[in-house]
Amino acid sequence: MFVFLNNQLLEAEKATLHISDLAIQRGYGIFDFFRVRDNALLYVEDHLDRFIHSAQFMHLACPYSKDQLHSILQELQQKNNLPNSSMRMILTGGYSADAYQPADPNLIIMQSPLAFQDTLVPKSLSIITHEYVRDIPEAKTINYTMGIWLQSKLAEQKADDVLYHINGTVSEFPRCNFFIVTKNNVIMTPAKNVLKGVTRKKVLACASSHYKVVEGPVTIDDILNAKEAFLTSSTKRIQAVTKVNDKAIGNGEPGAITTELLKSLVTVEQNYVSKKL
Ligand SMILES: Cc1ncc(COP(=O)(O)O)c(C=O)c1O
């Protein structure tokens, strides 16, 4: 397996960073993650835009332009020849002289095999809520401390995931965006304190051609009154949220609109891939 580190393609075992990197010293850095399907870099334009935005927002100077990054990704894809896989691009805080001041960032691009099925039936999830907002929600930082810390609580409560909220107004999951479908078939998703997911963007585009879509505040009470709820991410696509804090949402089953949106999303993905072939 090859990885890209700073300015070269290396065998993964030979790709090393110095321990003074701010990512190690303080957990400072940004990243992006996306799937490769049938050799196509899925929604790479959106992911590169977000990667560059996260870097700028965190005052990290990315050494490459969007086009240059795209070429590097294509080169890595050809070298590793993994038609179905994931790409993880990380930009760290760099080798800091005093373990605090950011320095020249280190760029790492890693690829791993990832098989994916076009399942059209949404998985059903039971979730809990937790009062928290990420430090800098508009950037995809490498700081997942709270999400990882909550893993043991999820195991104890036999829940699949945790939805962050502040004072009852929800935002996002540690790694996914959240949507509800109201009793009037309005599709709502939080807009504040969230990372703007690429899957969220694709789902909003699919949904808006058939339904009223609102990007705005969603409360825990709104969830309990909703007909359906679901989450979105690159690796989960769309999964139904059928229980929150042990209370059923709607009829407690994945809903018709959630299922319809999953089908639309899979079609959008298939069309994207066939255009790239
Ligand atoms: C905080 C957060 N929200 C949402 C998402 C989903 O984003 P995407 O749909 O681009 O995978 C992620 C992805 O990891 C995330 O870290």
pLDDT at residue 54 is higher than 90: yes
Which residues, in sequence order, are bridge partners of residue 158?
Answer: none
Give the model's pLDDT for residue 210.
96
Q: Is 50 in the pocket of ligand 1 (CB under 6 A)?
A: no
Half-sphere exposure of 31 (CA within 13 A, CB side): 17
Q: 242 CB less than 6 Å from ligand 1?
A: no
Mean of per-residue pLDDT scores for the chain: 98
How much is the average pLDDT of 219-247? 98
Q: Tell me the pTM.
A: 0.97
User: Is ligand 1 within 6 A of the CB of residue 160?
Assistant: no
Using DSSP, state whether 137 is helix, strand or coil: coil
Per-residue burial over 79-100, b if 16 or more Cβ lie within 10 Å, else e, is ebebeebbbebbbbbbbbeeee
Percent of the chain at pLDDT > 70 equals: 100
2-113 carries CATH number 3.40.190.10: no
CA of residue 160 to ligand 1 center, whole Å = 16
pLDDT mean over 214-237: 98
Q: According to the model, what pLDDT value does residue 233 have? A: 98
- pLDDT category at 277 given cuts 50, 70, 90 is confident
CB of 201 shorter than 6 A to ligand 1: no
Q: Could you report the per-residue pLDDT of 87-113, keeping only the tens digit for each? A: 999 999 999 999 999 999 999 999 999
Please indicate whether residue 199, judged by its CB atom, sits closer than 6 Å to ligand 1: yes
| Ligand 1 in reach of 197 Cβ (< 6 A) | yes
Query: CATH 3.20.10.10 residue ranges in the chain?
Result: 124-273
Residue nearest to atom 14 of ligand 1 (CA): 175
Where in the chain do CATH 3.30.470.10 domains reside? 2-113
Question: Is 90 exceeded by the pLDDT of residue 145?
Answer: yes
CATH of domain 124-273: 3.20.10.10
Residue of minimum CA distance from atom 5 in ligand 1: 176
User: How are beta strands 237-244 and 124-131 bridged, if at all?
Assistant: parallel
Average pLDDT over residues 206-234: 98
